[in-house]
Amino acid sequence: MTPMVEALGIHKRFGATEVLRGVDLVVQPGEVSCVIGPSGSGKSTLLRCINHLERIDSGRLRVDGHLVGYRERNGRLYEMRESEVAHQRRDIGMVFQRFNLFPHKTAIENVMEAPVVVRRQDKAAARARAVELLDRVGLADRRDNYPSQLSGGQQQRVAIARALAMSPRLMLFDEPTSALDPELVGEVLDVMRGLAREGMTMVVVTHEMGFAREVGDSLVFMDEGVIVEQGAPREVLANPQHERTRSFLSKVL
């Protein structure tokens, strides 16, 4: 079976700082992989490399068997055109820490935007699907509200519906609950839990250890640009093998 995400020896530097220093990660279809680690450990950067929001400096990164951002022919790498990168990103959904909803569009317009503009879907069909998706994240009655009229938790749920509207095969979550008030975290995690149950492949950068333990199929602990430890969430959380993992977990649990 082709892994959904296959990262081999990923390096990424911003100027003089090396943010990723040789990361290997494999995520199988249907797997929920949670990535944890202290801030600055490179976990968000790794996630952003998966849909080519950041370009990797070395290594190979494949999604569903295809190199991300590059094409390999006769042993040579060719950079993809912007339109080809855009084409690849259609199948990879992303949810941001700060939601990044389009503030000038209503909830339903946010969800319809990409299917209509990118997939050239018929407006009525896109609307029907958007209604369905907003209903699924529990916001059927909020479809005509602008993002500024929604709570953080509601905005993040719209953002999830917006990503799902493109029918992605992989969903990336970049600390989806970190910008939320504590009492709003649950509603977003509930939606994500539902997605995981339906078999969506997910890579989730998170600080929610409870979610990782309960929903995650694998847990990845990163520090200083490398994966220190990975395994079944319960085992890693209950019985960390590395000193760095132990000291991190002792601070957050």
Partner 1 sequence: MTVRPDRPEPMNAVPVRHPGRWVAVAVMAVLAAMLVHTIVTNDGFGWPVVGDYLFSPPVLNGLKNTLILTVLSMAIGIVGGVLLAVMRLSPNWILSSVAALYIWVFRGTPLIAQLLFWNFLSALYPRLSLGVPFGPEFVTFDTNQLINQFAACLLGLGLNEAAYMAEIVRGGIASVEHGQTEAAGALGMSRAQTLRRIVLPQAMRVIIPPTGNETISMLKTSSLVVVIGYFELLTSVQRIYSVNFQTIPLLIVAAIWYLALTSILSVGQGFIERRYGRGLQTGPPGPSLLGFLRRRPEEVAA
The neighbouring-strand residues paired with 25 are 7
Interaction between residue 123 and partner 1 (CB under 8 A): no
Q: How far is the CB of 41 from partner 1 (least distance, A)?
A: 21
Which residue in this structure is represented by tokens 């993992």? 245
- Name the minimum Å distance from CB 29 to partner 1: 20
Nearest approach, Cβ of 98 to partner 1 (angstroms)? 6
Q: φ, ψ for residue 22 (rounded to 5)?
A: 85, 75
* 102 scored as a contact of partner 1 (CB under 8 A): yes
Q: Which of 117, 140, 238, 252 binds partner 1 (CB under 8 A)?
A: 117
Closest C-alpha to 206, from 180, 229, 240, 168: 180
Which alpha helices (DSSP H) does the chain contain, by range? 43-50, 82-89, 107-117, 123-136, 152-164, 182-197, 209-215, 233-238, 243-252
Question: Among residues 71, 87, 123, 234, which is the contact residue for partner 1, using CB under 8 A?
Answer: 87
At residue 23, φ and ψ (nearest 5 deg) are -105, 130
Query: Is the distance from CB of 205 to CB of 174 less than 8 angstroms?
Result: yes
Q: Does residue 227 bind partner 1 (CB under 8 A)? A: no
Options 33, 41, 45, 51; binder of partner 1; rule CB under 8 A: 51
Task: Centre a 10 Å sphere on the Cβ of residue 140 and count the other Cβ atoms it contains.
Answer: 12
Site membership for partner 1, residue 120 (CB under 8 A): no
Min dist. Cβ of residue 246 to partner 1 (A): 35
Residue 250 in the binding site for partner 1 (CB under 8 A) = no
Residue count of the chain: 253
Please, which residue, 179 or 249, has the CB nearer to partner 1? 179
Q: How far is the CB of 10 from partner 1 (least distance, A)?
A: 19
Q: How far apart are CA 212 and CA 43, in angstroms?
A: 15
- What is d(CA 58, CA 134) in angstroms, rounded to the nearest whole number? 39
- The reply on whether position 167 binds partner 1 by CB under 8 A is no
Residue 93 sits in the site that holds partner 1 (CB under 8 A): yes
What count of other Cβ atoms lies within 10 Å of the Cβ of residue 148?
8
Q: List contacts with partner 1 (CB under 8 A).
A: 51, 53, 82-83, 86-90, 92-94, 96, 98, 100-106, 113-114, 117-118, 144-149, 162-163, 166
